[in-house]
Structure 1
Amino acid sequence: MAITDSSTVETPAEMRIAELTHQGVMHIHGEDAEGFLQSQFINDLSELSSGQTQINGYCDAKGRLLAIFQLLKRAEHFFIIAPNEILPGLIKRLNLFVLRSKVTIEVLPWHIFVAWGSEIDTMVATLGERSGQSDETLKDPNLKTIRSTQLMTFRDDSTALLLLADSKESIVNEPVLAELLTPEAAWQSDRVRAGVPTIYQSTVGQFLPQWVNMDLIDGLSFRKGCFPGQEIIARTRYLGKLKKRMVAFSAQGIDDQAAQSLLPGSTVYDQDQQKIGTVVDAVEYPAGDWHLLAMVRLAGVSDTLLAGEVTLHAEKLPYPIPETTDSKADSQQA
């Protein structure tokens, strides 16, 4: 789904906080949790210490992404932050492989907030470090508070503060936070412009990790052990450079009907109306200004492409896209 906002004025960038109403929290814990997740996910959990986050993903046997998410580790507990619409399918698939492992997977009814901006260090110092270290603390229904605060650092060197809370009131009751509330679309717009992809229900199973730049934003490890789809993903890397990558676009002055052609999973065309790619993510913020990520064939990229009747204007990502050559593996996966 595309996130939109009706605000006509962008919130000042010094400091913001948004509730991620379209995201949910999955909790994985148990004696075998870390080993189990290491065998399933595409990034290396051995590089994740308690109190850290990483961008990670989950693929099917063909190497196609079923999910992209932020993974938070707290002691023996792991928390996945991902779109609500894909959580049921993600839980169902993970449970297929639990077998006799001592692992529990559940969705928590927590609210997710993220704070970002130039004063993030001051906010971290003000709130302090809060974390649950036991099942009792993490799941006590009578504890109405901010359960966890965690600083996240991204590939573009930006930072943000992830807050998990029982309710919106837990945030509003913090004076340092309440006056900074801004629409969710503001955060999603920043992430799209930073080149961070998201998998929605409409794009489950469509993209190899490299096609959406997971290898360029530290979201994919080629050094860890086996995981679903690893052979195909590795073959795509070692048999040649990719012909497909995720790039950024913008569009302005789009009405509601035209915006339907910008939804994730929609087709992107070149000026000759030939299919060249697929929309990965799109967000409108402020009203009338659209920011998009699309997976495209790099050989056909120009300054302007089309999604339906909408003209897309190429934008720069904050990280470089490697030069491309024909890849036999990439062609076979098209």
Structure 2
Amino acid sequence: MTETTTTWLDFLQQHSSDLQHGAIGASDSFVAPLTDLGLIALTGEDAASFLHTQLTNDVQHLSTGEARLAGYCSPKGRLLATFLMWKSGDSLLLQLPRTLQASIQKRLQMFVMRAKAKLADASETQVALGLAGDAVADALAPWFAALPAAPYAKIDNQHGTLIRVANANGKARYQWIATVATATMAWPVLTQSLRAVGSGTWRLTEIQAGIPHITAPTQEQFVPQMINFELIGGVNFKKGCYPGQEIVARSQYLGKVKRRAVLARVDAVEIAAATEVFSSADPEQPCGMIINAEASGTQRSSCLLEIKLAALEHGTVHLGSAHGPQLSFEPLPYLLSELSAAEESA
């Protein structure tokens, strides 16, 4: 662990009493330190062209005023990681769970070969804050006179990078990527008007927004369409080849997608990613798998899970076994259309 990281974590430890626990109301505005996320920086004249050949989304045409979702697949088209990516100065940045960062960075480095591209751990110098709710604009006014107007729009200034991400519960959400010095200076000001919460609250809003995150237990479990990744802008079907591209394209154009990610609640807590779910109509075989889950109440959790669509039509679905807690399904904030966002814009 670096001195910079330790300084930020030490600061948060000293201010741990700021963090409030318990359910967040729909009208609450909050700020959360996203210490569970890591950041890989790529620099060099071939950085964009190299990443373009590795990821599911277009990197070559990524502008400085936007961020994009992207996936990294195995040769079999199964996701090894999902990223939020953007440009900042001379760097391309990939945000992913910190627990995956070292292994993914090492794997990408293996394929750089003769390309003029260098990978580095940017978590050493940059930290992330997640902010959501109606009070965010006023809270951020000392550093950002205006906020990004639409999801995945981005603003850069001397105070860092501000990215608007997908709405959750009808509320705008943002990530502020800043130096440790800026974050430690801003935290006491932000927490005067925003509820200070832990990173679990941010992860809960990611689930509510229908944004999946690959973690270690779910690596190589899903092709992108199984977790709705093309529906939320994470796959570009017009770009060139990348690992697994042929399988991802075949899944898109040959036959109907039979498995999707859906949103549910369940009376259980501490649900591990990759926990299987079972249908009462076919209790012997799992019909799906938890992608992400987070407590949303004292004895209740919200989860994003991948499931056979046929299992939603007959019987009930249960966690862990056909006799486990029953899942209650809720609508996603986007349609489970068979037409991808990339096709709609074609």
* Bin of the TM-score, shorter chain as denominator length: 0.7 to 0.9
Choose from 119, 124, 135 the match for 1:119: 135
1:84-233 correspondence to structure 2 within 5 Å: 84-108=98-122, 109=124, 110-128=126-144, 148-154=160-166, 159-167=172-180, 170-171=183-184, 173-179=186-192, 180=194, 181-233=196-248
1:292 aligned onto 2:303? yes
After TM superposition, what 4+ stretches of structure 1 lie above 6 angstroms from structure 2? none
Return the alpha-carbon distance in structure 2 between the equivalents of residues 8 and 31 of structure 1: 47
> What is the match of residue 266 of structure 1?
275
Report the Cα offset of residue 125 of structure 1: 4.0
| TM-score between the two structures when normalised by the length of structure 1 | 0.82
1:307 aligned onto 2:319? yes
Aligned length: 300
User: Counterpart of 2:142 in 1: which secondary structure?
Assistant: helix
Return the alpha-carbon distance in structure 2 between the equivalents of residues 210 and 77 of structure 1: 29
Measured against aligned partners, the alpha-carbon deviations of 1:138-157 in whole angstroms (never above 9, x if no partner) come to xxxxxxxx862312243778
CA contact (8 A) 2:294 2:301 kept: yes
Quick one: structure 1 residues 25 and 200, their matched pair in 2 at CA, closer, same or farther if it must change by over 3 Å?
same
Return the alpha-carbon distance in structure 2 between the equivalents of residues 38 and 158 of structure 1: 32
Return the alpha-carbon distance in structure 1 between the equivalents of residues 25 and 54 of structure 2: 39
> What is the match of residue 154 of structure 2?
none
CA contact (8 A) 1:48 1:73 kept: yes
Give the letter for the 2:183 counterpart: S
Quick one: structure 1 residues 82 and 92, their matched pair in 2 at CA, closer, same or farther if it must change by over 3 Å?
same
CA contact (8 A) 1:7 1:286 kept: no
The 10-residue stretch of structure 1 (271-280 or 114-123) with the greater mean CA deviation from structure 2 = 114-123
Q: Which runs of 5+ in 1 are unaligned?
A: 131-145, 325-334
Query: Larger relative contact order (C-alpha < 8 A, sep ≥ 6)?
Result: 1
Quick one: structure 1 residues 129 and 162, their matched pair in 2 at CA, closer, same or farther if it must change by over 3 Å?
farther
Return the alpha-carbon distance in structure 1 between the equivalents of residues 88 and 132 of structure 2: 21
Identity rate of aligned residues, in percent? 30
Return the alpha-carbon distance in structure 2 between the equivalents of residues 126 and 232 of structure 1: 48
Measured against aligned partners, the alpha-carbon deviations of 1:192-226 in whole angstroms (never above 9, x if no partner) come to 01110000001111100000001110111101111
Report the Cα offset of residue 24 of structure 1: 0.9
CA contact (8 A) 2:159 2:178 kept: yes
Report the Cα offset of residue 47 of structure 1: 3.8
Measured against aligned partners, the alpha-carbon deviations of 1:169-205 in whole angstroms (never above 9, x if no partner) come to 8345455413322221221111101110000001111
CA contact (8 A) 1:63 1:208 kept: yes
> What is the match of residue 56 of structure 2?
42
Measured against aligned partners, the alpha-carbon deviations of 1:123-148 in whole angstroms (never above 9, x if no partner) come to 45431289xxxxxxxxxxxxxxx862
User: Counterpart of 1:248 in 2: which secondary structure?
Assistant: strand
Quick one: structure 1 residues 115 and 210, their matched pair in 2 at CA, closer, same or farther if it must change by over 3 Å?
same
Give the letter for the 2:226 counterpart: W
The 10-residue stretch of structure 1 (213-222 or 39-48) with the greater mean CA deviation from structure 2 = 39-48
Quick one: structure 1 residues 173 and 238, their matched pair in 2 at CA, closer, same or farther if it must change by over 3 Å?
closer
> What is the match of residue 69 of structure 1?
83
CA contact (8 A) 1:276 1:297 kept: yes
Q: Which runs of 5+ in 2 are unaligned?
A: 1-18, 147-157, 340-346
Superposition CA RMSD, Å? 2.7
1:56 aligned onto 2:67? no
| TM-score between the two structures when normalised by the length of structure 2 | 0.79
CA contact (8 A) 1:38 1:44 kept: yes
CA contact (8 A) 2:165 2:175 kept: no
Return the alpha-carbon distance in structure 1 between the equivalents of residues 145 and 237 of structure 2: 32
Quick one: structure 1 residues 155 and 111, their matched pair in 2 at CA, closer, same or farther if it must change by over 3 Å?
closer
